Amino acid sequence: MDFPRLIYSARRMHTMFRWAAVGSALLVFGACGPCGGSTSLSSSPSSANGCGHPGLCLTLSGPLSGATSGLVLAPDCIPGGGLDAEFTTNVGGHETSIDILVTDTFARSSPGFKPGTFAIKPSREVPTGTAFASIYVKPDKDLLGYPSGWSTDRAGSSGTVTIGGDENGKVLGAVVAPAGGVGASLHIDGSFNCR
**At 133, is the secondary structure helix, strand, or coil?**
strand
Does this model's pTM top 0.85? My answer is: no
- Is 182 a member of any domain? yes
Confirm whether 69 is domain-assigned: yes
Identify the pLDDT of residue 118.
94
* Residue-wise burial string across 117-149, b where 16 or more C-beta atoms lie within 10 A, e elsewhere: ebebbbeeeeeeeebbbbbbbbbeeebeebeeb
Task: Determine, yes or no, domain membership for 2.
Answer: no
The reply to whether 32 falls in a domain is no
Number of folded domains that form the chain: 1
pLDDT for position 178 = 95
- Complete edge-to-edge strand list for the sheet that includes strand 116-119: 66-67, 56-61, 186-193, 168-176, 158-163, 116-119
Residue 13 inside a domain? The answer is no
pLDDT in tens, 31-47: 322 222 222 333 333 33
Residue 55 within any structural domain of the chain: yes
Q: What is the pLDDT of residues 94-133, one digit of tens each?
A: 999 999 999 988 776 667 788 899 999 988 888 888 899 9
**Residue range(s) defining the domain that contains residue 135:** 41-193
Residue 35 within a domain? no
Q: Is 30 contained in some domain?
A: no
Q: Which pLDDT belongs to residue 9?
A: 55
Q: Which residues of the chain have pLDDT under 70?
A: 1-54, 108-110
Give the Cα separation of 165 and 139 in Å (integer): 29
So what's the pLDDT on residue 19?
Answer: 40
By C-alpha distance, which of 166, 150, 111, 158 is closest to 132?
Answer: 158
